[in-house]
Amino acid sequence: MKAGSTVRLPPGFRSKFLDALTPTEIKTVLAAAREEPISRRQVLQRQGELAHRLCLPLTGLVAAYRLVDEGSKLFLRWGLPGDLFGLSALLAEPSTYLVTVEAVHQGALLTWDLAASRMLIGQFPNMLRAVNSLAASYMDDFIDVLAVRVSLTAPQRLARMLVKSARQIGRVGDDGIKLDLTNEQLAFIAQVSPFTASRQLNQWQVRGIVRKNRGTILLRSLPRLEEIAKVGSYRP
């Protein structure tokens, strides 16, 4: 697709970013965008790379993480459709991406290159305000990830990420909320070893709180998970 072509927003699409703009602004902003497909595991921006574009996923799921000492990945947050990222591209001086963003599922993406995003940000003070507010909420999120990691036990982190992911990427079924996550992915986002994740999920399955299938987790009782995530350690 090329800039200027009509961008069709997917049905049910909501974006905190676009919501902060007026209809006229939205029209201009969308007109300046370029749409492109994203495939699974595709890296959309790499931490440390020169920030060269602003991105807005339309469909699919991406993950933002930081690489630590060549190898291990540190999950920071999901990027859902409507979540603007690559904000570093909007800074005055050329700067680098703070985190790596990688597609977890395939989907589609709107992008604005440096010229376009600079132009828009200069033209619409509204957009600048929206972006600053977004940046603040991301910062809050990141600090929270740290707080969670430091102050919660492994089972609590798992429960918490299940609850959080349920809200973000859960599909409501008749017998609970279904998450398309492998043990390994859950372990990754909860900052736990895959073995710990496996053991804990089994225990919860025995207790009837979740049900497991290869690649998916069915949450049968959100309240009980929320309870575990909140207070004192889990009791075996």
Partner DNA sequence: CGCAAAGTTGATCATAGTCAAGTTCTGTGG
Partner DNA sequence: CCACAGAACTTGACTATGATCAACTTTGCG
For DNA, the binding residues in 136-195 under the rule CB under 7 A are 153-155, 182-184, 191-195
| 90 secondary structure, DSSP code | G
Task: Tell which one of 191, 196, 203, 205 touches a copy of itself (CB under 8 A).
Answer: 191
Beta carbon nearer to DNA, 42 or 198? 198
For a copy of itself, the binding residues in 88-127 under the rule CB under 8 A are 88, 90-93, 95, 98-99
- The torsion angle over the Cα atoms of residues 220, 221, 226 and 231, rounded to 10 degrees, is -110
Does the footprint of a copy of itself cover residue 186 (CB under 8 A)? no
DSSP H helical segments within 83-182, as ranges?
A: 114-123, 125-151, 154-169
Does the footprint of a copy of itself cover residue 233 (CB under 8 A)? no
Does the footprint of DNA cover residue 202 (CB under 7 A)? yes
Q: Is the dihedral of CA 169, 65, 146, 231 positive or negative?
A: positive
- The torsion angle over the Cα atoms of residues 112, 116, 117 and 119, rounded to 10 degrees, is -170
In whole angstroms, the minimum distance from the beta carbon of 187 to DNA comes to 8
Q: Is 69 helix (H, G, I), strand (E, B) or coil?
A: coil
Q: Is 33 helix (H, G, I), strand (E, B) or coil?
A: coil
| C-beta of residue 79 within 8 angstroms of C-beta of residue 61 | yes
For a copy of itself, the binding residues in 120-149 under the rule CB under 8 A are 128-129, 132-133, 135-136, 138-140, 142-143, 145-147, 149
Task: Tell which one of 24, 125, 151, 214 touches DNA (CB under 7 A).
Answer: 214
Binding site for a copy of itself (CB under 8 A): 66, 68-69, 72, 74, 76, 87-88, 90-93, 95, 98-99, 128-129, 132-133, 135-136, 138-140, 142-143, 145-147, 149-151, 191
